[in-house]
Structure formats: structure tokens, C-alpha cells
Amino acid sequence: MKNLLKLAITIAIAALAGCAAWNTPPPQLGEARAAVEARLGRPTNVYQLSSGPELEYATGPYGQATYMARFGPDERLISYEQVLDTPGFARIKVGVSTQQDVLNTLGRPTEKSYLSLPKLHVWSYRYKESGVWDSMMHVHFDHDGIVRMMMNGPDPDKEERRFFW
């Protein structure tokens, strides 16, 4: 019985610690990279930009937010923003942006696929369109890794099933 009680207390403490990390206030501009990582934890990816490092904090394959923490050459925070939204997608330029540009702007995709007939690689990102609709943005790349098309639509995993078959 004592061991069961100890296990329950340990689980409760771990759950509360997880909630506390989730509700952590955002980092402040000018904070050192070490302080940001101590607050937010290990990033899901780190990108080296010419202006300085960029840390990606993706919320997972079913998450609809990715936060990018960008640092200057002195490793002080210069911006921290949620990038899976209309302004974030607007930074991607059809015919100009590359796969690396998309990674630096939006972070890792939710999923990757390939369309054989038009010969396009597709990176898909889950997001909350206008803060309301469960959507996916599909970024299409040609064989040279240049964005050729962007298309959004409903997130198929969150759509209501209306048919029995």
C-alpha cells in the first residue's frame, strides 16, 4: 500500500511539473541563449543562420504551433514567435524560397509526402487558421527544392466523419 501511495505522489508531482513547464512565460528579448534553454528546455531543432542561432520549439506531430527563438551573434534573444500562422506562411515565396528557407521560417513539417505525377515533394504543417479552424498548409517543392505551390485545407485528422464507410 505504501509503494502505491509513493507511486501516486510521484506521478502527481511529475504531472504538475509538466503543467508548470507548459505555462512558462515566454522568454524576454535580450535574454541569453542559456537562460532561454533553461526556461523552455531542449529545442526540437537548432538552425544556424547568418545572423545567429535559431531554436525551434515544435509542439509535435499533432501540435498546431511552432515557436522560433532567434538570437543575434552575441547569443541574446532578438525574437520569439509562433510561426505557424498566416503571417508566418506569408514569408514563404513561391518560386524563390528553398527547403532550407522553409525550415528556418516554419520549422520541421508535421509530415512529408511525394506526389509522383507532378513530381513534387510536399511538406505539411498543422495550424489553427484564424485561431479557429483546424487546418493544414501544404508546401510543394520541385526536385531542386524550390517552393512551387502552397495550398491549405482542413486537417483530415480533425475533420468530422460524416459517412459510415
159 in any annotated domain? no
Question: Quick check: 127 and 85 in contact, CB under 8 A?
Answer: yes
Q: What is the pLDDT of residues 3-49, one digit of tens each?
A: 554 544 444 444 443 444 456 789 999 999 999 999 999 999 999 99
165 in any annotated domain? no
Residues of the chain short of pLDDT 50, as ranges, are 5, 7-21
Residues paired with residue 115 on neighbouring β-strands, in sequence order: 120
User: How many domains does the chain divide into?
Assistant: 1
54 in any annotated domain? yes
Nearest alpha carbon to residue 84 among 34, 14, 36, 134: 134
14 in any annotated domain? no
Q: Which domain holds residue 42?
A: 27-154
119 in any annotated domain? yes
Cell of 36: 532561454
18 in any annotated domain? no
pTM of the predicted protein model:
0.80
Residue 128, Ramachandran bin (φ over 0: left; ψ between -120 and 50: alpha; else beta): beta
118 in any annotated domain? yes
Nearest alpha carbon to residue 94 among 151, 148, 143, 152: 148
What's the longest Cα–Cα distance across the chain?
65
41 in any annotated domain? yes
